[in-house]
Structure 1
Amino acid sequence: MSTLRTSYIGNTYYKILQNHLLLPIQRIGLTPDQLTMIGVALAVLVPFGFMLHPALGCLFIMTSGLADSLDGLMARCQQRSSTFGAFLDSTIDRVSDFFYLSGFWLLLWSHPQRLSATLLMLAALLLTLMISYVKARAESLGAACQVGLMDRAARVAYLIAWAFLIAVIPGTFAIWIGFLIYIILAVATVVHRIIHVRQQLLPSHRSTL
């Protein structure tokens, strides 16, 4: 099962970036690491954007995700990919995940069920970290883990679509249902990845803490 990143849609998306955006950005003189920093800076603005209007929060997620896509693409095209670069990018992505989800949570800050919203946000954040940790831990043990619905690209795409719906649908229903769907999909991804890794490691390895 391919992820969104390796699907036809994902490949088409990266081809468009490479053919139409990469060269102008290279001419500006930006480096992959600078794009990474721009991406996280835009992520920090997401909560502030949501406080002004959900459409602005959506815009900041889109531009932050775009910068995150371009940094890796530029590194590969310039043959500047490195182990540290991948490590830095993955680390920064977790910071961005926090600010993305915080933006949605702030939309419910003044809601009477603020505690419930906080618990949902914490659950979503924990599961997001689990998705990434399971993959990182599996790969450190030599197992492949390119499976699951909610990989990084799919999560960002989901958040953009969710923010757009919130911007066009009055009330808080879209916020609540968006959190619930995100959590369900994230749980499914964590379970899928654990089962996938178990099938690879159980015959010859025992998991240790």
Structure 2
Amino acid sequence: MLNVFARVQVNRVTEPVGRWLVARGVSPDVVTVVGTVGSVAAALWFLPRNGLFVGAVVVTLFVLLDLVDGAMARARGYSTPFGAVLDSTCDRVADGALFAGLTWWCLGAGEERVLGVAALLCLVSGQLVSYIKARAEGAGLSADGGLVERAERLIVALVGTGLHGLGVPYALHVALWLLAAASVWTVGQRIVAVYRSAQEAQAGPVPPGPVPPGSVPPPDPAQNP
């Protein structure tokens, strides 16, 4: 949802950066990989060691590179199929590392085993949301929309993590349980969307009805070569 409302404002920042990098010969794929490696390293290094605030800030900085690579592709004037697959794959890796790091913290330094269940739910359902869309599109179906997509998941998780690191009580608890429930709901929404898309595809075009009595039937093209 946030992708629709915030895209114009975000593009005002990322487009100039993307043009600047392209002008210096930087490839969008390089930016994608650097952003992913940085976010994964930050999530798995800082979060399990109780560095929630620092980890949230560093992960956020690297995640923002995911917006820049798209701006670079637009500035370059074209994108590649490999770049699209690489970007989607790296998104899944970065998201998985973030929630794996939070799960690690919950079961270790945070001593929050019950909260670890919420983190695991976020990890699994977040991957499912993206997988359902990709699998549906591969089958020629549609599975767009939903309550929480990638942008919402990252914002809620990183804000809750950062606030908890600053000492705000129960900030991470509220964020993860809210996100877990919303993500599971989104999985259901996308499955329903795929089902409806499949039903529409099976129905096909509506066949023409019978010609009413007394009306003139349409000409047969075979009789008028």
Match of 2:221 in 1: none
- Percent of pairs identical after alignment? 26
1:61 touches 1:156 (CA, 8 Å); kept in 2?
no
Equivalence map 1:28-177=2 (5 Å): 28-44=24-40, 45-50=42-47, 51=49, 53-108=51-106, 109-114=108-113, 116-171=114-169, 173-177=170-174
Q: Which amino acid aligns with 1:39?
A: G
Q: Which amino acid aligns with 1:16?
A: V
Q: CA deviation at 1:190?
A: 1.1
Measured in 1, the distance between the counterparts of 2:146 and 2:8 equals 17
SS at match of 2:109: coil
1:113-165 alpha-carbon deviations (Å, 9 max, x no partner): 43x34433222111011101110111112223220122122222222322232
Structure 1 pair 66–43 and aligned structure 2 pair: CA distance change class (3 A): same
TM-score, with structure 2 as normaliser: 0.79
Larger-Rg structure: 2
Measured in 2, the distance between the counterparts of 1:165 and 1:113 equals 16
Q: Which runs of 5+ in 1 are unaligned?
A: none
2:160 touches 2:175 (CA, 8 Å); kept in 1?
yes
Structure 1 pair 189–62 and aligned structure 2 pair: CA distance change class (3 A): same
1:60-86 alpha-carbon deviations (Å, 9 max, x no partner): 221121111111221122123111211
Q: Which amino acid aligns with 2:39?
A: A
TM-score, with structure 1 as normaliser: 0.85
Match of 2:14 in 1: 17
Measured in 1, the distance between the counterparts of 2:122 and 2:140 equals 27
Which piece of structure 1 moves more, 144-153 or 63-72?
144-153
Q: Which runs of 5+ in 2 are unaligned?
A: 204-225
Tell me: higher relative CO, structure 1 or 2? Use CA pairs within 8 A at least 6 residues apart: 1
Measured in 1, the distance between the counterparts of 2:23 and 2:57 equals 24
Q: CA RMSD in A?
A: 2.2
SS at match of 1:202: helix
Measured in 1, the distance between the counterparts of 2:12 and 2:26 equals 19
